[in-house]
Structure 1
Amino acid sequence: MTAAVTEPGRAEAALDDRVATRSLAVRMLRRPEIGSLVGAIVIFALFMLVAVPFRNVANIGTILYGASAIGIMAVPVALLMIGGEFDLSAGVAVTTAGLSASLLAWNFGLNVWVGVILALALALGVGAFNGWLLFKTGLPSFLVTLGTFFVLQGVNLGVTRLLTGNVATADISDMDGFTSAQAVFGSEIALGPVTLKVTVLYWVVLTVVAAHVLLRRQVGNWIFAVGGDAAAARAIGVPVRATKIGLFMAVGFCAWLSGMHLLFQFNTVQSGEGVGKEFIFIIAAVIGGCLLTGGYGSVVGASIGALIFGMTQLGINYAGWNPDWFKAFLGVMLLLATIVNVYVKRKADLR
């Protein structure tokens, strides 16, 4: 009698989804970044076939540089989207960081590094303000950060014109601390025929650290939880407010890092830059597997999405195609990625 009861129990356990062993194909489908990886392989093969300069090893550095310029911001934007929020001020925040470091150092005669640190405090403050205002007002992050976008855009243009008389900052290349700061934020590394900008290193490090935090640390569980259901997460003790404000501050930190590269790469910053870049960051994250509804996504996938952007942007030029079609390509990629991500997730959840 005991054996008769035990055997069906084992059979039921074997059929239980919680203990069943899934095939490699199913496990791969459940990864958010699988779609972007396939897309990156297809685009790489396409431009290898149709664009001769794309095959030049020396151009790898140029392609990776374009990808890193997007990837540094796509990583924190992806984390924020997994946490269920958006930041439409991310693009102009990069410009704000570069402008503030330059204007503060120039107008007050400070060492460049002082301007850099003050710009970091400002960038983190903007991120914290976005998060605080989100909870204070209860408004969607789309509206909160859209307001911040317009405020920063206006301040960037107005303050720069007020202090310099034009729309760009002064050249700070002859100021104290510039050389060492440029070595940190604007240097490059030669690896044989390939020259890599320092932003590529920062992009890779940010991706590795963010992926580790998201998948191996408690904070990562909190991010998924607040993005999936903030009320349920709060009920089980997840610090929802601190987690989301921290994510906005992470966007601010990476905006500062990108802004410092912008400043020390070109010695000056145009106050009108950055407008529209926030959508490119979001597109990279969505291509990488992030759902617009939150609670699902991958920072590795977002970086692959940035790589797709870098390959496509230069691949179109290398192939001699009309670059006017690039934005149309981004729109198509966004729609396809959203549809594919939802479809694959549903199929994987059923298996």
Structure 2
Amino acid sequence: MTLVYVETDENAQVQLTSAEAITFARTNADVLAATTPTQLPGGGPDTSREVAGPPSGSSGSGGLGGGVEVAVIGPLSNDCVDELTRLGVDTIHHLEHTDLEAYSAAAWAQALVDIAPETGTVMASGTPRGMELMAHVAVRTGERMAANVVAADDGGLLRQVLGGAAFERLQLGGDLQVLTIAGHACNPQETTPTSPEIVSHSPAAAADDLRTRVVRTEVETADDTDTSGLTQARAVVGAGRGVGSENGFGEVLELVDHLGGALGASRVVTGLGWRPHAEQVGQTGSRITPDVYIACGISGAVQHMAGVEGAKTIIAINTDEESTMVQRADYAIIGDLHEVVGAVNEEIRNRRG
């Protein structure tokens, strides 16, 4: 069995990356379910790992199987259930308790461990929260963890490393696989709607697990450093020094709006103060994995390329046909970005009437 931790937003809606993780789990169910207990030198299965028993009311899920179950911590909306149904989920574990109202990595991870199968897979999307929770789950179950997995087959797991510049194939072994799935490793795919069983849990947390938790949240402002919109966007338009000035982003921002995407910036742009650091793409900024990355006036420094290696398609707009970005792009347009992007925007406006 595979258990997927589902992140929800402030409206209790399923996050895009969690929908991707569920799709990954469902489409790779047979491979993920093939985990077998580690063999000790004596030939018997390793039963030394202890897993806390399920809380009262739990289905006690465990054992080998190809089903996909999910865990939602906090409010469970009807819209969330409907989407999980369309994503082909078999069981929804709803965990809700006053101890879990504020995010606490240790407490939330233990709640997941309590309902995890003894053999199979526990996984989450590769967001900061998903990474933190799965790391805690791995430690508490005594299992290994693979981060940023992009594929699974009979040969093992394939994960991206070095910001997507290289891939590593590995086999975790052990009884339980603990994974995070790289953002946009697959597209969310709805399937024949299921009729998932909803199992409610009310797990209290140990005092030690609540020593570190969120005590206050604040509304974001333009100067905050949240990058979730950039890292989850399917289309990113990058802007470099070629925009010319702090006031040269008009055409680029219009294109972002047309695509329903996000704006990314080079280190030079943020260093000059033209855009906030939260929009910086690169080794010292955000590493992105959109379906399409449109680089406008960006030469393609090494640190920037490290941040966009995960993009499925790169389109470069630049006056320098010898620039690294142009040479590495899937498609390139040689010309002034203001003229090119302006013409693209005009064409989109005309086609939309």
Compute the TM-score of the two structures, normalised by the length of structure 1. 0.24
Compute the TM-score of the two structures, normalised by the length of structure 2. 0.24
